[in-house]
Amino acid sequence: MKRYVPLPLLLAAAACADGEGGAEDADTLSEAPWEEIEEAASGAEISMYMWGGDEGINAYMDEVVAPHLEEEYDITFSRQPMDAPEFLSRLMTEREADSMDGSGDILWINGENFRTAKENELLYGSFADMLPNMDYINEEAPYVENDMGTAVEGMQVPWGNVQYAFQFQGAEDPPETMEELLDWAEENPGSMTYPDVSNDTGNGFVRHILHHVAESPEDLAEYDEAWLEENGDDVWETLRELAPHLWREGETYPDSLSQQDQLFADGEVSMTLGFNEHRAESLIEQGTFPEDTETIGLTSGSISSVHYLSMPFNTTEPEAALVAINYMLSPEAQIAKLEPSRWGEGHILDLDAVSSGERDEIEAMVGEEVVPQEDALPELDARYVDWIQDNWEQEVVQQR
């Protein structure tokens, strides 16, 4: 979820993947009534490939999801800590070797990685329509059909929704728009930085600059090379102007978000950033971030990013995987996920579809929104991500 697969590896794998998809299996299953699927799922052991580096996320999976699946459906659930690059690389090899005996049943995936998986036919197929709990999800929401420019086609279902936000410490009057943020950086030299764009967080910051340069989000709604041709230089110019005011005068950038968080924790920089507007809460609680950390969502627009659940083509327990995914979409599981002491990230529920009690619970938990819905910007097409990755180094870093 956090990194990208090295491109040559992908190309190599794409070249050798054969043409068979896993869609037939999904079709066969979709005929079956849900009760039958639940019945078939009973007694199964399933595992989910997911990044394992966050105490809160791990706790949510181990203490909420796993016990519920055990009690309710007699499904033994375990998470396998593995990053997307590793599990994608595995699946590609397994695809090539025609190995249908996969050891993962659920994937945590989005954006670039989803596109890779879909293009290489590493996914189980279209299963979203089979899940009863899809009813709780706002089918109108653009992210249900489209994930960073890739058509979802029911091959993955939204699991969580996070906003890009900025954390400040000791700033009297923290900036609230991109314009103000750029000014703030100039007034506070050395206080700001952002991670290298090979990292999703750093890349996300540059995507905000794209929005900043664009006159309206509409301009970026679809991948538009002509727009980049015309406005690309403005994007780089903005970043080049920003660079001298950054930490170490923009000579170098943190390699990863964790490195920037550490700089922030040590007071070397006084801002950090990242997806998930609630992420600072657990970091304050565990003593990493100072107590006076303040989170700001830009009113000029903040990208909201959705991440999804999917299934690999070679799951050996598709019924149990469906049941588990269905549960993870339920209001109960989504509300538990909001709990800041565990994970504390945004839900994907349609507030009109849930019961009034649940709605109250959600509203109590979310409290005052960091980013009001009207300020949320759609995530950009993944090809913009590539464009940033391909050019940033040369346009910004080497121009110093």
Partner 1 sequence: MRSILGWSMLLLVFVVPVLFLFLRSITFGWRYPDLFPSDWSMRAWHVIAGDPQILQALLTTMLVGITVVALNLLLGIPAAYALSHGRLKGVVWLETILFLPILVPVLAIAMGLHITMIRLGLADHISGVILIHLLPTLPYTIRVLRSGFDRIAPGWRRLGDTLGAPRITLFVTGLLPMMRPSLRSAAVLAFVISLSQYVLTAIIGGGQVTTLPLLYYPFFDSADQAVIAGFSVVFAALPAVFLLLWESLMAGFTYLLRRT
| Beta carbon of residue 70, minimum distance to partner 1 (angstroms, whole number) | 12
**Side-chain half-sphere CA neighbours of 131 within 13 A:** 29
For partner 1, the binding residue among 83, 277, 375, 379 (CB under 8 A) is: 83
Which of 254, 299, 305, 300 lies closest to 275, judged by CA?
A: 305
Binding residues with partner 1: total (CB under 8 A): 51
- Rounded least distance, CB 384 to partner 1, Å: 23
Q: Which stretch binds partner 1 (CB under 8 A): 32-40, 99-107, 207-215, 369-377?
A: 99-107
The structure tokens listed for 215 are 């006159």
Q: Give the C-alpha separation, 295 to 162, whole Å.
A: 14
Span of 181-189, 287-295, 317-325, 367-375 interacting with partner 1 by CB under 8 A: 287-295
Q: Is 287 in the site for partner 1 (CB under 8 A)?
A: yes
Min dist. Cβ of residue 112 to partner 1 (A):
17
Dihedral class, residue 344 (left if φ above 0, else alpha if ψ from -120 to 50, else beta): left
Question: Is 266 a binder of partner 1 (CB under 8 A)?
Answer: yes
State which amino acid sits at residue 355: S
- Integer Cα distance of 261 and 121 in angstroms: 36
Cβ proximity of 3 and 83 under 8 Å: yes
Q: Are 330 and 131 in contact (CB under 8 A)?
A: no
Contact call for residue 53 and partner 1 (CB under 8 A) = yes
Q: Which of 22, 104, 149, 160 binds partner 1 (CB under 8 A)?
A: 104
Backbone angles phi, psi at 152, to 5 degrees: -75, -40
Nearer to partner 1 among residue 292 and residue 360 (C-beta): 292
3-state secondary structure of 170: coil
362 contacts partner 1 (rule: CB under 8 A): no
**Residue 163 beta carbon to partner 1: minimum distance, rounded to whole angstroms:** 19
Among 28, 42, 93, 341, binds partner 1 (CB under 8 A): 93
Distance CA(174)–CA(184), nearest Å, equals 8
- Per CB under 8 A, the segment of 22-30, 111-119, 228-236, 257-265 that binds partner 1 is 257-265
Parallel/antiparallel/unpaired status of strands 302-310 and 106-109: antiparallel
Among 30, 76, 80, 231, binds partner 1 (CB under 8 A): 80
Choose the binding region for partner 1 from 84-92, 117-125, 153-161, 184-192 (rule: CB under 8 A): 84-92
Retrieve residue 380's tokens. Answer: 């950009």
Q: Which is nearer to partner 1, 87 or 168 (CB)?
A: 87
Three-point CA angle 129, 132, 133, nearest 5°: 105
By CB under 8 A, is residue 198 in contact with partner 1? no
**Among 17, 40, 62, 231, which residue interacts with partner 1 (rule: CB under 8 A)?**
62
Q: By CB under 8 A, tell whether 160 contacts partner 1.
A: no
In angstroms, the CA 159 to CA 354 distance is 16
Can residue 103 be called a binding residue for partner 1 (CB under 8 A)?
Answer: yes
CB atoms within 10 A of CB 189: 12
Stretch that binds partner 1, among 20-28, 78-86, 133-141, 317-325 (CB under 8 A): 78-86
Q: Which is nearer to partner 1, 267 or 372 (CB)?
A: 267
Q: Which is nearer to partner 1, 285 or 332 (CB)?
A: 285
* 364 part of the interface to partner 1, by CB under 8 A: no
Measured distance CA(47)–CA(387) in Å, rounded: 35
Residue 67: helix, strand or coil by DSSP?
helix
- Rounded to whole angstroms, the Cα distance separating 181 from 302 reads 13
Residues that bind partner 1 (CB under 8 A): 2, 6, 9, 12-13, 47, 49, 51-55, 58-59, 62, 66, 78, 80-83, 86-87, 89-90, 92-94, 96-97, 99, 101-104, 256-258, 261-262, 264-268, 283, 286-290
